[in-house]
Amino acid sequence: MSLQETLKEEIAKRRTFAIISHPDAGKTTLTEKFLLFAGAIQIAGAVKSRKITKTTVSDFMEIERQRGISVASAVMSFIYRGFNINLLDTPGHKDFAEDTYRTLTAVDSVILVVDSVKGVEEQTEKLMNVCRMRKTPVIIFINKLDREGTSPFDLVDELEKKLNIHVHPMSWPISRGSSFKGVYSFHEKNLHLFRPNQGVSDDDIVAIPDIASDELDARVGNEYARQLRDDVDLLSGVYGTFDKDKYLAGDLAPAFFGSALNNFGVRETLDAFVEIAPPPGARMTETRMVAPDEEKFSGFVFKIHANLDLRHRDRIAFFRVCSGRFERNQFYKHVRLDTQLRFANPASFLGQQKDVIDEAFPGDVIGLFDKGNFKIGDTLTDGENLSFKGIPSFSPEVFMELVHGAEKAKQLEKGIKQLTDEGVAQLFLMAHSRRKVVGTVGMLQFEVIKYRLEHEYGAQCRFDPLKFYKACWITSTNEAQFQDICRFRSGYIGTDKDDNTVFFAESEWMLNYYRERYPDIVFHFTSDFKSDLPALSSIK
Ligand code: G4P
């Protein structure tokens, strides 16, 4: 088989996606259930214990275990119905939104988990806005139907209004909470009966080719049967048939109802996912579009994880293959450093378990062991100078001054550099005072930084709060204006790790004031100046 043919075949069976949700909606539970179905993990029965859930698969870092917050995204690869699936887990906590945002640059589609009791929560809205901006196809899993939640009509309405996307119910629940009977699938014309804690066995799937048939009444009772008929009547008038093209264009989200904890509705969602979700697609670089089936290899680093093994101090770069075939022990060009690198132990993932792989194809996410060569956004190619778009740093929103003594200063510098390379935080140096300012998108990161500096580098530090509202990168073609603002605002000007000039504003009013006063200065809200992605903070 030629490389071209191999690529086409491998690409067709790859599906790379992320599960996103507001914390506690059930993302971890759903992930575990997917892995169970695929036989990628073996835990008998439903995963009931949070403890098991949290310590088996998606925990990379000790801090994650201690806090029970999924701090960093993990990657899990598994095979289901002949498809090679790469699932990228994302931290639900809002302080790690930037990490999630970057993970979304590496996927081709998304499954969004919504809690049917709580409806659309703040974090769901933000994440969905990112998906919409990138035109990422989204499948919605409406979870916790075993609990007394909002009416499904209201829920779908809320999803459409708040997430600003058309929703297409693929199934419909029959009651909910303690009287939850199951779901009716519009497409398969069958009933999935719900039995708590048991999942769905073949006996619980009943074909109902005609919704008027008595079989429905016999299965769910007259009252619920009548209700379902009324609902279906109403729904078919409103939604018609499912339009896959609209889903692929990111304009329509198919929605499934279920209960991840009870293993209910999970398999249908996974089956629909492999059927309709897109295979790896073309990706834009600064210079040209890269098609996945190009023979020339390319890909980018979207995440860096440090010190998985504290004894070895190695880092692992999460790399998305975009085109061609990646091969172990081949030399590839590291575009930013203009150097050739090769990888003896590239890894694929199942939680903490890592397998060395010999080759990888577009859509695959692999782990490259790194001794400090990689930063987020770095590209590897067969030789061409490509740079993939849209993996920026965001304008931080929380600022602290990093204060430390002379003792272990070197260790601390090293640790901070590593954490900034990983994208945990950004470090700025104030031009005038030479003070070190750490900026993040959330408070929780400071705890992570302190913890990691202490545990991984034995370095102590203190963070003193700073009253900055925002830091923006500034550029200008008007040299005089640029010099002027830097002089006039010298106490509020600094540089980032790449020596770009950064402007600090104490308030929104101040920021607007200076934007008006210096019309020739461009204030950038992401470090990726050429990117057309808006600032994280503008994602309402
Ligand atoms: P997350 O990753 O999105 O943060 O959510 P996670 O899966 O950890 O689930 C959050 C809580 O919701 C867990 O309860 C989990 O058991 C529960 N849950 C998930 N799916 C369902 C469902 O379909 N129905 C119901 N009733 N609950 C569900 P917990 O109390 O935090 O932990 P645990 O001790 O129950 O495991």
**Which domain CATH number covers 169?**
3.40.50.300
Say if CB 91 and CB 84 are below 8 A apart: no
Ligand 1 atom closest to 49 (CA):
36
- The reported pLDDT for the residue numbered 49 is 36
- The reported pLDDT for the residue numbered 123 is 78
* E strands present in 62-165: 75-80, 83-89, 109-115, 138-143
Dihedral angle, C-alpha 515, 517, 521, 526, nearest 10 °: -10
Q: Is residue 208 part of a domain?
A: no
Q: Which of 381, 415, 435 is the last residue of a domain?
A: 381
User: Do 171 and 320 belong to one domain?
Assistant: no
Pick the residue whose CA is nearest to atom 1 on ligand 1: 24
Q: Which of 355, 381, 407 is the last residue of a domain?
A: 381
- The reported pLDDT for the residue numbered 308 is 54
User: Do 157 and 98 belong to one domain?
Assistant: yes
User: Do 342 and 469 belong to one domain?
Assistant: no
Q: Is residue 211 part of a domain?
A: no
Ligand 1 atom closest to 23 (CA):
4
Pick the residue whose CA is nearest to atom 24 on ligand 1: 144
Q: How many Å lie between the centroid of ligand 1 and the Cα of residue 31? A: 12
User: Do 55 and 100 belong to one domain?
Assistant: yes
Q: Is residue 86 part of a domain?
A: yes
- Nearest CA among 79, 76, 26, 81 for reference residue 56: 76
Strands 436-440 and 326-327, by their bridges, are unpaired
Ligand 1 binding residues, C-beta < 6 A:
21, 23-29, 49-50, 53, 92, 143-144, 146-147, 259-262
Q: Is residue 450 part of a domain?
A: yes
Angle value at C-alpha 159, between 157 and 160, nearest 5 degrees: 65
Q: Which of 252, 276, 300 is the last residue of a domain?
A: 276
Q: Based on the structure, what is the number of domains in the chain?
A: 3
User: Do 61 and 155 belong to one domain?
Assistant: yes
Q: Is residue 212 part of a domain?
A: no
Q: How many Å lie between the centroid of ligand 1 and the Cα of residue 27? A: 8
- Nearest CA among 367, 236, 374, 383 for reference residue 296: 383
Q: How many Å lie between the centroid of ligand 1 and the Cα of residue 39? A: 21
Q: Is residue 356 part of a domain?
A: yes
Pick the residue whose CA is nearest to atom 33 on ligand 1: 50
Mutate to test the pocket of ligand 1, among 19, 21, 22, 24 (most ligand atoms within 8 A of CB): 24
Q: What angle separates helix 122-134 from helix 152-163, to the nearest 10 degrees?
A: 60
Range of the domain at 10: 3-178+240-276
User: Do 69 and 132 belong to one domain?
Assistant: yes
Task: In whole angstroms, give the CA distance from residue 24 to residue 59.
Answer: 16
pTM: 0.82
Ligand 1 atom closest to 31 (CA):
7
User: Do 262 and 310 belong to one domain?
Assistant: no
Pick the residue whose CA is nearest to atom 21 on ligand 1: 261
Mutate to test the pocket of ligand 1, among 27, 30, 36, 50 (most ligand atoms within 8 A of CB): 50
Ligand 1 atom closest to 47 (CA):
36
Residues 6+ apart with CB under 8 A from 472: 395, 502, 503, 505, 511, 523, 524, 525
User: Do 118 and 30 belong to one domain?
Assistant: yes
User: Do 120 and 97 belong to one domain?
Assistant: yes
User: Do 360 and 484 belong to one domain?
Assistant: no
Q: How many Å lie between the centroid of ligand 1 and the Cα of residue 13? A: 31
Burial of 275-286, coded b for 16+ CB within 10 Å and e otherwise, reads ebbbbbbebebe
User: Do 258 and 323 belong to one domain?
Assistant: no
Task: In whole angstroms, give the CA distance from residue 111 to residue 272.
Answer: 11
Q: Is residue 206 part of a domain?
A: no
HSE-up of residue 466 (Cα within 13 Å, Cβ side): 27
Ligand 1 atom closest to 22 (CA):
3
Q: pLDDT tens string for the chain (540 positions)?
A: 899 999 999 999 999 999 998 888 998 889 888 888 877 665 433 333 333 344 433 444 555 544 444 444 478 888 899 999 999 888 766 667 777 888 888 999 999 999 999 999 887 887 888 888 889 999 999 999 999 988 999 999 999 999 999 999 999 999 999 889 899 988 888 888 888 776 666 677 888 888 888 888 888 889 999 999 999 988 888 888 899 999 999 999 999 999 999 888 998 899 999 999 999 999 988 889 999 999 999 999 998 876 555 555 667 889 999 999 999 999 999 999 999 999 998 988 754 456 788 999 999 999 898 888 888 889 999 999 998 876 656 678 889 999 888 778 888 888 888 888 777 788 999 998 989 999 987 787 788 888 888 888 888 889 999 989 989 999 999 999 999 999 999 999 999 888 889 999 999 999 999 999 999 999 988 766 544 444 444 444
Q: Is residue 184 part of a domain?
A: no
User: Do 350 and 475 belong to one domain?
Assistant: no
Residue 486 maps to which CATH number?
3.30.70.3280
